[in-house]
Amino acid sequence: CNLNKNDFCSSLPAETPTASPNSNLAIFSSLKPLNLDGQLFFDNIDHASKDFGNRYHFLPAAVLHPKTVQDISSIVKHIYDMGTTSALTIAARGHGHSLEGQSQAHNGLVINMESLQEQEMHFHTGELPYVDVSGGELWINILQEGLKHGLAPKSWTDYLHLTVGGTLSNAGISGQAFKHGRQIDNVYQLEVVIGTGDIVTCTGKQNPDLYYGVLGGLGQFGIITRARISLEPAPRRVKWIRMLYTDFGVFCRDQEHLISTQNSFDYVEGFVIINRTGILNNWRSSFNPRDPLEASEFHSEGKTLYCLEIAKYFNPEENDTIEQKIDSLLLELNYIQSTLFLSEVSYLEFLDRVHVSEKKLRQMGLWEVPHPWLNLLIPKSKIHVFSQEVFGKILVDTSNGPVLIYPVNKSRWIKETSMVTPDEEIFYLVAFLSSAVASSTGTDGLEHILMQNNRILEFCNSSRLGVKQYLPSYSTQGEWKAHFGTLEWETFSRRKSIYDPLSILAPGQRIFQKAV
Ligand code: FAD
């Protein structure tokens, strides 16, 4: 049964809702007097108990499709006013691309943020261009609209079918983060509905404690309903380059060199290729070897290889100068010469690259499978120890998906945000992006991959590498405290007690429990 303001006001009988077996009558009648512009759903809400991770499934009691910020505010305020008499919690759901149920609310209320269309995208040109967007807006839509104005955000994630509120609650890290910071470093202003239902606007100067808390705050302090994102003139074309290394030390030196060089590439990432032959042939479809003859002679012989992936943005009229510039930057690198592969694509194609894989995987039925991902931030001083153990002993035979690895430089990152990082200035993001075959008991099965993830985590802990999880997931508050560290935990829990004193918001993160 779908309800909106008119249903409540007129068409429904006063006491007897059209209850389905699933609907929770108590919740139903408690929400009834709310005057919502959007709709509340009590049936057919299974999708809100699913996410990209495909491992945790908690059914909510209801799903709100809000039309206005006021809808969100009213419902949060209502549940806040019920105090500890109600166990109801609220999860904002962006695009549901969490990995372990973070956007779910067991028997609670899920707010479908993509329905919030009150805020039309509004582009502001001028010296410091920006766009005002809804917290439920997808980054791909911002890119497509922005390109019409010749503008685009500066910092991205590898995949753009994620919402603004979802990535800003984590950080938003990709190959541009060394240069422009994370997505959370590129936000001028936020509008947030906090855990009391109040609507608060915040910036680095106005309500800064809330602003920094919400950025990377895992949805704990408020629901982002609007964000002002900083923009730059959008380039039209991208030179996209990949090259291989067999020596991990040389690979890291080159990556670190690139992220600390001014006027270098615009994007720096990399990945590990474990025990795969014929990899170069796979690339030929979209990348051309600079020297086809030499490239055909390169054989990986099943060795672990490290692929550097870089990109330079440009406009067509700069083509000649950009090629010279790239050639001179490449001279500073020590990759295996015959493995230099190049491609040229539009800016949109480059940024939306993972969507192409998504479409292929969907066709093969391999997208909606369990994704036991593990994302780690490894201090630069420990990356070699980490690599010797992990790529030398734990992940030697195969990987069940891409393993990304690239360094980032914290100097452009705002330190007051809630995101937890290692202590060193430079650290590596290492992302094990595994897909599991649900029914398998072999090396591609969920159990095996989780066991491997645990071995990696245990090694990091026992060797005291100072590693932090990105997109963290823990089940006890003790683990969360250890994740944050004493000082940052104090700040985080203080902010929780101010902005969401009843612990209503984002229960799927399993950090705080609502008192009843
Ligand atoms: P959801 O999963 O819906 O929500 C995530 C959390 O944020 C939940 O706790 C939810 O309650 C909360 N939340 C959602 N909306 C709001 C809001 N408006 N206000 C407050 N809280 C809210 N991350 C990177 O940093 N870099 C990458 O390159 C990257 N690539 C990815 C590629 C793929 C294929 C996938 C599936 C994920 C990737 N991620 C990456 C991770 C991604 O950033 C997070 O999973 C993010 O949370 C997904 O956004 P979402 O809109 O689906 O959020």
pLDDT one-digit tens code per residue, 28-40: 677 777 889 999 9
User: DSSP class of residue 511?
Assistant: S
CB-ligand 1 contact for 168 (6 Å cutoff): no
Quick one: 137 exposed, middle or buried, by C-beta within 10 A (0-12, 13-18, 19+)?
buried
| Predicted pLDDT at 438 | 82
Q: Rounded to the nearest 10 degrees, what angle do helices 486-499 and 477-484 cross at? A: 120
Q: Cβ distance 103 to 51 under 8 Å?
A: yes
Nearest Cα residue to atom 8 of ligand 1:
103
Angstrom CA distances, 25 to 89, 293, 339, stand at 16, 71, 64
Asked if 269 is an active-site residue, the reply is: yes
Nearest residue to 181 (alpha-carbon basis) of 215, 155, 220: 155
- From ligand 1's centre to the CA of 419, what distance in Å? 14
Q: Could you identify the atom of ligand 1 that is nearest to the CA of residue 172?
A: 25
Q: Cβ distance 88 to 114 under 8 Å?
A: no
- From ligand 1's centre to the CA of 157, what distance in Å? 10
Catalytic one among 269, 309, 352, 500? 269
CB-ligand 1 contact for 375 (6 Å cutoff): no
Catalytic one among 7, 37, 43, 158? 158
CB-ligand 1 contact for 400 (6 Å cutoff): no
CB-ligand 1 contact for 238 (6 Å cutoff): no
| Predicted pLDDT at 22 | 42
- From ligand 1's centre to the CA of 176, what distance in Å? 18
CB-ligand 1 contact for 169 (6 Å cutoff): yes
CB-ligand 1 contact for 436 (6 Å cutoff): no
Within the chain, which residues score under 50 in pLDDT?
A: 1-23, 284
Handedness of CA 325, 327, 330, 331 (dihedral sign): negative
Nearest residue to 178 (alpha-carbon basis) of 377, 408, 421: 408
Nearest Cα residue to atom 35 of ligand 1:
97
Mapped to the 3 state alphabet, what secondary structure does 263-317 carry? CCCCEEEEEEECCCCCHHHHHCCCCEECCHHHHHCCCCCCCCEEEEEEEEEECHH
Task: Mark out the alpha helices in 346-440 (DSSP H runs).
Answer: 347-351, 353-363, 383-389
The Cα 134–Cα 164 span in angstroms is 8
Angstrom CA distances, 88 to 109, 493, 494, 509, stand at 7, 20, 22, 15
CB-ligand 1 contact for 119 (6 Å cutoff): no
CB-ligand 1 contact for 219 (6 Å cutoff): yes
| Predicted pLDDT at 19 | 36
For the chain, give me the number of helices (H) and strands (E)? 17, 20
- From ligand 1's centre to the CA of 71, what distance in Å? 22
| Predicted pLDDT at 30 | 78
- From ligand 1's centre to the CA of 313, what distance in Å? 26
CB-ligand 1 contact for 92 (6 Å cutoff): yes
- The CA angle 2-67-515, to the nearest 5 degrees, is 75
Task: Mark out the alpha helices in 199-284 (DSSP H runs).
Answer: 208-214, 248-259, 279-283
| Predicted pLDDT at 274 | 86
| Predicted pLDDT at 156 | 98
The Cα 511–Cα 451 span in angstroms is 24
Catalytic one among 65, 71, 95, 97? 97
CB-ligand 1 contact for 91 (6 Å cutoff): yes
- From ligand 1's centre to the CA of 98, what distance in Å? 6
| Predicted pLDDT at 23 | 45
Q: Cβ distance 446 to 372 under 8 Å?
A: yes
Q: Which of 97, 374, 377 to mutate to test the pocket of ligand 1 (most atoms within 8 A of CB)?
A: 97
| Predicted pLDDT at 363 | 94
Q: Could you identify the atom of ligand 1 that is nearest to the CA of residue 171?
A: 25
Nearest Cα residue to atom 42 of ligand 1:
167
Q: Which of 69, 103, 111, 138 to mutate to test the pocket of ligand 1 (most atoms within 8 A of CB)?
A: 103
Model pTM?
Answer: 0.94
Tokens standing for residue 132: 């005002």
Q: Could you identify the atom of ligand 1 that is nearest to the CA of residue 192?
A: 19
Nearest residue to 304 (alpha-carbon basis) of 270, 269, 337: 270
Nearest residue to 272 (alpha-carbon basis) of 380, 428, 423, 159: 428
Q: CB within 8 A of 248, min separation 6: which ones?
A: 306, 384, 387, 391
Q: H-helix or E-strand containing 406?
A: strand 403-409
- From ligand 1's centre to the CA of 171, what distance in Å? 9
Q: Cβ distance 483 to 76 under 8 Å?
A: no
- From ligand 1's centre to the CA of 140, what distance in Å? 14
The Cα 34–Cα 483 span in angstroms is 39
